[in-house]
Amino acid sequence: MFKPKKIQTLDEQAIVKAALQAMPQPSRRLFLQRGLSLGGLSLLTGCTLDNEDSVERALMRVSTFNDKVQAWLFNPNKLAPTYPESMITRPFPFNAFYGIEDVPKINGDSFQLEVGGLVANKRPWTLAQLHALPQVSQVTRHICVEGWSAIGKWGGVPFATFLQHIGADLTAKYVGFKCADDYYTSIDMPTALQAQTQLSLTYDGQILPPEYGYPMKLRIPTKLGYKNPKHIQAIYVTNVNPGGYWEDQGYNWFGGS
């Protein structure tokens, strides 16, 4: 009978807890009911867990499994909840991987949004051109992976509309983003085309403040906060997964909320 080697120097409970946290809720409930163990994690991932490197490989496989399950469960026709303006969180929290004093200072007059990859029209966009497109607004909840949430009002261009304007290949797998603060991330095309995914240019009826992502951010209420890039400088469509700042450090790539 197969018996996975036991880890003597690592915390087994911590490893199993990390694996469960990397799973989407339906899978997590199933494994909790059946009692996921270190041996079960080994069988699930096909990894022999006998050192830190093997544990990291196993957790990455669980994360990949999570991404596939979330993508399969994602319904692009299901909308995230919306709220009355009376429920807006004031002030809306600032959050980044740096302090507020390091927010990028961007000259909107000379700014140009780059587009590339699998698109027909690669001409750059000025802010004036983006503001001239049809605008919509939403009052939705931002959910942070750190455990807090806040409700805000975002205005801008439906991202699906923008992708159509640039002649994006809507059968491609991914859309990637590069930002002025060196942040980067990517999303799947079904999420990019979801009705609430928005290229946000305003917050609470005003030009998007620097701390919230000026000159633009991507607002995705169906995703966790780290999948909502700010200070976007370039957008590209691709069939190769571009990863992301936090995703390349072990966060789930799909990042559904």
Helices (H), 22-158: 25-34, 38-45, 52-73, 127-131
Identify the three-state secondary structure at position 176.
strand
Instruction: Please report where in the chains the tokens 């163990």 appear, as a residue.
Output: 37
Q: How far apart are alpha carbons 257 and 187 in whole angstroms? A: 13
CA distances from 193 to 45, 74, 99, 189, 253 (A): 32, 12, 32, 6, 17
Q: Walk me through the domains of the chain, giving residue ranges and CATH numbers.
A: 12-73 (no CATH), 85-249 (3.90.420.10)
The number of beta carbons lying within 10 Å of the beta carbon of residue 52 is 12
94-112 CB burial, b ≥16 within 10 A, e <16: ebeeeeeeebbebeeeebe
Stronger pLDDT, 7 or 57, i.e. the higher one: 57
Confidence of residue 7 (pLDDT cuts 50, 70, 90): very low
Strand pairing of 198-203 and 149-158?
Answer: antiparallel
Question: Is a pLDDT exceeding 60 seen at residue 179?
Answer: yes
What's residue 32's pLDDT? 36
Say whether pLDDT at 28 is over 70. Answer: no
Mind listing the pLDDT tens digit for each residue in 208-220?
Answer: 999 999 999 999 9
Q: What is the pTM of this model?
A: 0.75
Name the band, by pLDDT with cuts 50, 70 and 90, for residue 255. confident
Q: Which tens digits make up the pLDDT trace of 106-155?
A: 999 999 999 999 999 999 999 999 999 999 999 999 999 888 999 999 99
Strands 184-188 and 232-238: unpaired
